[in-house]
Structure 1
């Protein structure tokens, strides 16, 4: 019997359609680990020894470019598979994943990946679908960097985060994990000063509400209009 309670993956889309017995079998080689806020799950360039599913918390995935700049690649939300370098033939992790808040992840050795997808082909299909979605998002962001002005890029970034991890409030949608203006800057290829100026202007207009590591999008529709049509500001 696995030491990880099968109920922890019962609602994870990656494992949808499996019986409790299959969940137990799936978890046979897994272990659950706690990752304290600010600590890495794995580091860029480290040997890809494992793959993971986030059970609780939120993670920030960051990449250090050859010229030393930090880029926020994406955020990981509960239920997502990540660090699946073994599935795409990579020997090392291409980025660093760190906990935004105290988090819990399930860990499998990369060596068991071929066995798992052989026994449950749907697992491979869902994992590839998830990876494909991330590649498409990366492509979209590259296009935005070259064709959109900075105000539009910031609006697109906030809308993606709201879609990924939005929590509805009486008025607006809160990004449901701690996020800083520096994070937004590193997601959009601009500076902290520029992001602060843009968000402060949007706060005055009632489009967003900010706080310490907190962003609420008060008017998502207006932000969408900005993202698609605003002449914006320059970085």
Structure 2
């Protein structure tokens, strides 16, 4: 562990959980913060361990997942720069409900849970910020459940790629942020199903080669998302759109 740089502290202070607090409160809360550097596959904490801290991603991608009774990995979320996690258990105590590991080379700010509790006793506004952040995470989880149950695999993949595009029109070249097996897990697909969707997206000018993606027309990709959503809701007389992939696949 190392001490955070001024840029690290600036990024941390701009997260949703801290940005509403006054600068002096943020400074107090971040006073004992340290930075953890992780390589792909390194675990930050494991499911069931006592909650000793909450975290803010400074660089890279962090995967949150649970191990099912069958031994499978269920991806809950993938977080990147400026996102916080585990504040609820740091605030309430208990054990981590999931495992957090690095999907890429990453740097994460760690704030000890005991320090958070001491600050809350002195500055109740911190508790309000923690509750608001927990509510936001819950809303994101509800959106993810809705996406997995109401959208086709094609829609999920198209939305994922469209969100990476820096422009809403024209062509663009993007890089997948992490490996395809994690993308599949995040989108509720098996790796082979993701490969089939990538192949079908070539029909609308999306070419995926390794981690490199070329989108010939971003607006067409976004239009596909909307049109497939309409077809999914109308049922298309019980049929499937020719580009469509089934609902959440396990």
- Report TM bin, short chain: 0.7 to 0.9
Task: Quote how far apart the aligned CAs of 1:202 are.
Answer: 0.6
In the superposition, relative to structure 1, how do residues 183 and 7 fare at CA in structure 2: closer, same or farther (>3 Å)? closer
Q: How many residues align?
A: 226
Aligned-partner SS, 1:10: helix
**Hey, what's the Cα distance between the residues in 1 that align with 2:157 and 2:7?**
38
Check 1:88–1:122 CA distance in 2 against 1; reply closer, same or farther (3 A cut): closer
Provide the C-alpha distance between the structure 2 equivalents of 1:3 and 1:205, rounded to a whole number of angstroms: 48
Q: Aligned equivalents of 1:209 and 1:123: distance in 2?
A: 46
- Go from structure 1 to structure 2 and tell me whether the alpha carbon gap of 1:33 and 1:73 turns closer, same or farther (over 3 Å shift): same
**Quick one: distance in 2 between partners of 1:7 and 1:23?**
14
TM-score with structure 2 setting the length: 0.74
Q: Hey, what's the Cα distance between the residues in 2 that align with 1:181 and 1:33? A: 25
Determine the C-alpha separation between the residues in 1 that align with 2:172 and 2:124: 40
Change (3 A) 1:139 1:27: closer
Shift in alpha-carbon separation, 1:24–1:88, aligned structure 2, 3 A: closer
The alpha-carbon deviation at position 197 of structure 1 amounts to 0.7
User: The residue matched to 1:105 in structure 2 has which SS?
Assistant: strand
Question: Could you say which residue in structure 1 is the equivalent of 2:184?
Answer: 185
- The aligned counterpart of 2:153 is 150
Give the 3-state SS of the residue equivalent to 1:98 in structure 2: strand
Gaps of 5+ in 1: none
1:228 aligned residue:
229
Give the structure 2 partner of residue 34 of structure 1. 37
Given that 1:45 and 1:94 are in contact with CA atoms closer than 8 Å, whether structure 2 keeps it comes out as yes
Matching of residues 8-157 of structure 1 within 5 Å: 8-11=8-11, 12-14=13-15, 15-16=18-19, 18-19=22-23, 22-87=25-90, 89=92, 91-157=94-160
Task: State the Cα RMSD in Å.
Answer: 3.0
1:81–1:127 CA contact under 8 A, matched in 2? no
Render the CA deviation track for 1:130-188: whole Å, top value 9, x for unaligned: 332222222223233333333233334445xx2xxx4626734746x632332232123
- Give the secondary-structure state (helix, strand or coil) at the position aligned to 1:46: coil
Q: How far apart are 1:88 and its partner, in Å?
A: 5.9
TM-score (norm 1): 0.79
Task: For 1:179 and 1:78, locate their aligned partners in 2 and report how far apart those are by CA, in whole Å.
Answer: 14
1:216 and 1:110, CA in 2 relative to 1: closer, same or farther beyond 3 A?
A: farther
Structure 1 or 2, whichever has the larger Rg, is 2
**Alpha-carbon distance in structure 2 between the residues aligned to 1:5 and 1:98:** 22
Aligned mates of 1:6, 1:31 — CA distance in 2? 12
